[in-house]
Structure formats: C-alpha cells, structure tokens
Amino acid sequence: MKNKKILRRALPLLMIALVLLATLISCTPDMDVGNNTELADQFMDHVIADDYDAAYGMVKATVTDSDFRSYWATVQTVADGADTYEMKQIGWNLNRSKGVTTRTTAYQAELDNDRIILLRVVTQDGIEGIAGIHFSDITEFIRETDAYVPTMNIVLTVLHLLLMAFTVWMFVDCLRRKLAYKWLWLLLIIFSVAFTVTLGETSNFSFNVGLVCQPSTMEADPGLLAVVTKLVIPVGAILYLCLRKKFTVEPPKPDGEAPADPFAQTGTRPAAEADGDRSASAEADTKEGGEES
C-alpha cells in the first residue's frame, strides 16, 4: 500500500519531467536538415583561388554572366590577400511550396586577412548547383557585438538559474500546500512567457508561451545585422505566488471546539469569586467596627 502511494505521487512528477525532456529535444536545431556545406566549401575555395569560371559554373543556372561578374569584383575586394578560411554553419531554413523544396543555409567564414564573411547558399529542387548566393563582409558587426554579448549572456544565464530555482520553489510549495485546483496550478507553474527583442538594421518585438526550461539569451545575428535578446519570465510561478493564499484550503476545525473569547483576560478571577471576596471583606469590616464601639 505504501509503495502504491509513493508511485501515485511520483507519477505526475515523472510525466512533467518527460514533457520537459521532450521540449528540450524539440528545441535542438537539426542543422543537417539545411546542410549545403559541400557547395559552400566549393564556392569559398573558388573565391580564395580567384577562379571566376569555376565559381560562375556553380551559379549559372540562375545568374547571368554580366551580373555575376560585377558581383565577383565585390567579393574579391573582401577576399583580397586571403589564403585560407575557417567556416561554420550558423543557421538554415527549409521551405516547401507547391512540391518544391528550397533550402537556405547560412555560414560564417573567417578569412586569414582578418575579414569575417556571411555566406548564404540557396539550393532548390530542379536547379543544379547553387540557386542563390549571398556574400557580405560582417567584420565590424562581429567585433562590436563580441565586446558585450558574451558578458550579457553570463548575466542572463545567472538570471535564468535564479528564476528556475524560484520556479522549483513554487512547484514544491504547491505540492506541499492543500490547494484548490492543485494540478492545474502545477501545470501553470512550469509555463513561462519569452519576450524576444531584435535591435539593429532589423527591429522587431515578439513573445510566445513556452516552458520555463528555455534559457534567456542574447545573440548577434549576422544575417540580420541585429542583436536578438530573449528574456524568459516564469509568469506561471509569479501568478501562483500572488494567488496561492487565496486558493489555499483552510483545515477544518475539530467538532465541539468552542470559539475563542476575544474578551477573555488571563490571570483574572471569575466574577462570582471576586464578589464573594468583596462580601467577606465587608463583613469583616463590620465586625471590626462593632468590637470597637
């Protein structure tokens, strides 16, 4: 019987833990879905080697020779003096429309001439090679944001841990408290609102409802040339803190218990006893008066 009670109490916690785990897994980006790395590496190799013909051969299905030639001049201005590069994938987008899949992959490449490049490669069903290319110098943007974004992320991480501790505290308090609609409150506590602010060449504000496991972050987005800040507030736990006393169920009073007398005074004698003492004192005074006369 005792084991059944323990299992019955632990089952809701286990279910909540599974929901949190599933949310964490679903929030992990699958970078391979939008992988155009092989094409991106080939294009960058042609840029470093200043091989116009090979580079144009990768995009000729969608770009004319004259348009790409002027574009190539800008590319070579940025890549001038570079012999090697290091590149990493920083994002991707997959779009399906009318049976056609378009894949856009973003890369950040650091050249050995101290330039940092944003490279976007677009591929599409039915088009051989690269369907679209974007190449831009983001060196100044990266250096400016690197000066404060890491520090702000440390601050946001500490804040996130404090808010998570507060949420756990409220969750445990709800479990231990005799509360109306307890399970509804337990579910509400683990939800939060994430406010996202984008500031830069592109500005935007949005919010969404999710679980408290999502962290608060600040990121420099080279693709938007903007800083994206996400602040997660545990509104469910805050709402519970404000309303928990109102929904707390008071324990019933034992049967037959007399209500407390707010006028009772401790240490005083009963009125009858006090009157008896006064009568006895008056009688004694009378007797003493008679003996004196």
Query: How high is the pLDDT of residue 64?
Result: 92
Domains and CATH numbers, the chain: 31-137 (3.10.450.590), 146-247 (no CATH)
What is the SS3 assignment for 187?
helix
pLDDT of amino acid 266: 53
pLDDT of residue 250: 76
CA distances from 196 to 161, 205, 234, 239 (A): 19, 6, 15, 21
For the whole prediction, is pTM greater than 0.75? no
Whether the CB-CB separation of 104 and 122 falls below 8 Å is answered with yes
237: number of Cβ within 10 Å: 26
The pLDDT value given to residue 234: 94
Give the pLDDT score at 33. 46
Contact (CB, 8 A) for 54 and 129: no
**Residues 112 and 83: beta-carbon distance below 8 Å:** yes
pLDDT in tens, the chain (293 residues): 555 555 455 555 555 555 455 444 444 444 444 468 899 999 999 999 999 999 999 999 889 999 999 999 989 999 999 999 999 998 888 888 888 899 999 999 999 999 999 999 999 988 888 999 999 999 999 999 999 999 999 999 999 999 999 999 999 999 988 888 888 899 999 999 999 999 988 889 999 998 888 899 999 988 788 999 999 999 999 999 998 888 888 776 666 555 555 555 555 555 554 455 555 554 545 454 544 43
pLDDT the model gives residue 43? 94
Q: For residues 160 and 168, give the distance between their C-alpha atoms in angstroms, rounded to a whole number.
A: 12
